[in-house]
Amino acid sequence: MLISKVFVLTTLAVACACASAQTVSISVTGRIRPGACVPTLTSDGSFDYSNISSDALRSNAITQLQEKTATFAVKCSAPTKVGFRVLDNQPGTAAWVSLRAAGSDDHPAFGLGTVDGRSVGAYAMTMDSFEADGNLGTGLVSTNGSTWTSNRITGMGNSASTLYSIAAASETVPMAHTTFASVLRVQASIDRAANLPDLTSDVLLNGQATISLVYL
């Protein structure tokens, strides 16, 4: 009886093998990836105010430091629609919510760090002079990734949901490009001396932010 069961199982196994050999599956797969893009920032992204004399600080008003600039560029291996976001790596340390820069008071403020629990000040970032593939472009900003508005001068905001990109002149839709360039402007301000930590020792400005590319 045991031998009979083994024989039946063996026969079924052979029959199933013959049936499966009558068909074969084909799978065609792959993935189309956007062209790889690499961002660069002149001076390695460093905006150094060097030594600031405490005597130059205003005691009861904000001391605005000079504007510093760098070129922000993106190079792609193929025409690609790309945007970017900016995040403050010193969140919660800005002395103010908004700050004056590029002739306007309503630019979001980024933190300069704290010393002895006190905010040192803040800085604002703006971007202008947009170019794509050597042609003049228009700066774009979006808070949802689908609706875009154009700005000649774009204030960088500290939000993961806010995206920036570039469009052809007079357009409001991100364009595919291989090269992108713009002027990034940084303007720092120091809080009034009365609000600062003890000025008998060095007080460091320690602003840090990250620009991240986003493929659209």
* 10-residue stretch averages of pLDDT, the chain, 216 residues long: 38 49 76 82 90 88 92 94 93 87 76 90 92 94 91 80 91 94 93 86 90 93
Q: How far apart are CA 114 and CA 139, in angstroms?
A: 32
Yes or no: say if 93 and 112 are a contact pair by the CB < 8 Å rule: yes
Give the pTM. Answer: 0.81
What pairs with residue 73 in β-bridges? 40, 181
The set of residues, in sequence order, having a beta carbon less than 8 Å from that of 44 and lying 6+ positions away, is none
The Cβ of residue 87 has, within 10 Å, a number of other Cβ atoms equal to: 17
The DSSP call for residue 36 is P
- Please give the CATH number for the structural domain made up of 36-215: 2.60.40.1090
Q: What is the three-class DSSP state of 100?
A: strand
What is the pLDDT, as a whole number, of residue 9? 39
What is the pLDDT, as a whole number, of residue 8? 39
Taking Cα atoms as reference points, which of 113, 105, 119 lies closest to residue 155?
105
Q: How far, rounded to the nearest angstrom, does the alpha carbon of residue 76 sit from its chain's CA centroid? A: 16
What is the pLDDT, as a whole number, of residue 21? 61
What is the pLDDT, as a whole number, of residue 19? 52
